[in-house]
Amino acid sequence: MAIVSTLMTSLSSCQQTAPNNPLLEDSELPYGAPDFSKIEVAHYLPAFEEAIKQTRENIKQIVNNLETPNFQNTIVAYEESGRTLDRVSNVFFALTEADKTPDLADIEKKVQPQLTELSNEISFNEALFERIRQVYEKEYTILTGEDKKLLEEIYKEFVRKGALLSEEKKERMKAINLRISDLQQQWGDLLQEATNDAVVWVEDKEELAGLSDADIAQCKKDAESRGSKAPYAIVIVNTTQQPLLATLDNRDLRRRVYEASIHRTDGTGKYNTFPIVCEMAKLRAEKGEIMGYPNYAAYSLENTMAQTPENVYAFLNSLIAQYTAKADTETKAIEDFARQTEGPDFQLQPYDRFYFSAKMKKQLLDVSDDEVKPYFNVDSVLINGVFYAANRAYGLSFKERTDIPLYHPDMKAYEIFDKEGKQKALFYVDYYRRPTKRGGAWMSSFAKQSRHFNQLPIIFNVCNSAKAPDGKPSLLTWDEVTTMFHEFGHALHGILSNCNYNRLSGTAVARDFVEMPSQFNESFASIPEVFDHYALHYETGEPMPADLKDRMLKSITFQTAYALGENLAATCVDLAWHMLASQDIPAPEQSVDFETEALKKVGLLNPQIPPRYTTSYFNHVWGGGYAAGYYSYLWTEVLAVNITDIFKQRGALDPATGTDFSNKIISRGNTGDLMQMFTDFTGMSQPDASGLLKARGL
């Protein structure tokens, strides 16, 4: 929500109006952290109502200012408006993502329309925009640095939201914004319910043959937490493929798990998201058309590094052309391997692929997840891996704060210091899955860094790893290890931020740049010095044996065509929906056929490699901020590969290299031209995509 990061207000006035509401009081905790020991569910709705009221008053004061509009009384004043609303929203929506109880869900349904209405009021406030326009026309050419960038971003934001539209079109845009907000709310609730309900119940432990003792214990724990309809439960995660399919011997159970995943929301059961998808796609298309673009993708991409759908498709098509033959070869190799034990007529199915690929990897490389997981204890990965790499590269140090109140017992909080020992940030981790948490992994903030507000960053990471039963260590797969490094890369974008204005700080960059720091930070997970420091056996503390380590690291690039293919397919599904004109949006019952034809058109209709997310549960696109933007994961992977090469050339853990990277890119947020930042650090005038397939082992 744009309103969360842009609307701010003074804290002193809110203390006077509601002194008993901790969300409306200045926190006494370090960094101004939210005091979850005092915040109750009953505080949220009145806090929102008061914060919205104050924000309206802030905007009114700007508009009614009789002085000639200038940078200070209009642009800076707008930057300062709504600070309490920002704080309340950051806390509330952190919980609705990570720990959404029924009470919070009810409040969200009441709050979202109010926030959208306020956003519409501000976006289409003609008097406010007139003041902003006057400042832009008079001062843009004479301002410099962050002041100039702040003015540019605010002016263009209003224009992109429709400030220059006719009155009739403005009214239609308001209605579209309200309806999309409502649909996204419905989508989020329905998807979470559907994913929780898609659990596969298992009556007999023998059906779980192939799973480790730890995985079986987790299935038992998951069953107990979901009502014990059977002794064991296999929980469905957010992606199409499911991790347990790599080790589950029972083919029929593998089929059931896979089908529970792909059919969770497609209309074959009681959860059907297609009506929401189609209406939202139609409204987005209309929004693009109102703004003068042929479709939503053209409108959305104008403000990115890629700039146009044509540029994105040129990038994707070059990858598809190189990928297709490799994918077919990989599939044939897996099927041939399976036929050695299953017979010459065996037909490989999507739910078989991970299973036989894992067995093939075991035979060829003699390595499996069960062998390496004992060396990936979540606490060691965090302290001895993620934090260690940040210390070596950026000079950061970490201290756990057990005195900081948390919103859930599974969380931890850490204070971060720079290489000179100065306070840098407060950082929270929330790594374990639960029914009240949505799927996936993400980074966000309770407060962004801002010199103007004298605010140090308060950042958090959320993941969805399985928490082991009490007394047992929580062990991770390699994918979960890299996810922790990935999300901490996003966190570093906020932690190392050194910007004057909140609006420009940290991750406030184009969608196809924001994933670069996270993709790049994954590279630290396999650097020998870092790997050896965290890959320690949970019982003995011994490092992973050299032979196993060598085999494990080689396995990272074993049969990686699937991972690239599922990403390419999901990306093309996203673009296909958002390249449509409003009159061409299919009916809900035609959605599956539309997706099929879209994949066929780009050469990615491969039953062996389905999209990472299909239309009906593609939360990035319908619930998140990645509409027409899922390509950014591959786009920014190119940037990350280029930057990783620079680090390797200069010394991957060389503090001078880390400092240079921080100074030229990470700390700067959106204060300058993003391509120029990339060039300043790498010396490259343009990203080089040739290294992407090589980095993936293809």
Please give the C-alpha separations between residue 396 and each of 421, 425, 518, 640, in angstroms, as whole numbers.
8, 10, 17, 21
- Of 609, 600, 610, 688, residue with least CA distance to 643: 688
DSSP assignment of 300-313 equals: HHTTSSS-SHHHHH
- Of 139, 15, 117, 162, residue with least CA distance to 73: 139
Looking at this protein, which amino acid is placed at residue 90?
Answer: N
Return the bridge partners of 398, or none. Answer: 416
Q: Which is the catalytic residue, given 146, 330, 487, 637? A: 487
End-to-end CA distance of the chain: 38
The percent helix, strand, coil of the chain (3-state, each to 5) is 60, 5, 30
Please give the C-alpha separations between residue 623 and each of 273, 439, 449, 620, 670, in angstroms, as whole numbers.
11, 12, 26, 6, 24
Distance CA 347, CA 345 (A): 6
Distance CA 387, CA 393 (A): 10
Tokens of 603: 């050469």
**Strand-pair category, 442-447 with 423-432:** unpaired
Under a CB-based contact definition with an 8 Å cutoff, are residues 502 and 450 in contact? yes
Which of the 8 DSSP states describes residue 589? G
Under a CB-based contact definition with an 8 Å cutoff, are residues 631 and 312 in contact? yes
279: annotated active-site residue: no
- Of 117, 86, 105, 124, residue with least CA distance to 10: 86
* Residues 6 or more apart whose Cβ sits within 8 Å of residue 415: 30, 398, 399, 400, 401, 423, 425, 426, 427
Secondary structure, 3-state, 204-257: CHHHHCCCCHHHHHHHHHHHHHCCCCCCEEECCCCCCCCHHHHCCCCHHHHHHH
Under a CB-based contact definition with an 8 Å cutoff, are residues 277 and 622 in contact? yes
Under a CB-based contact definition with an 8 Å cutoff, are residues 666 and 495 in contact? no
Angle at 310 between CA 305 and CA 689, to 5 degrees: 60
Angle at 644 between CA 329 and CA 146, to 5 degrees: 130
Distance CA 300, CA 330 (A): 35
How many residues in the chain?
A: 698
Under a CB-based contact definition with an 8 Å cutoff, are residues 518 and 489 in contact? yes
Q: Which residues are catalytic?
A: 487
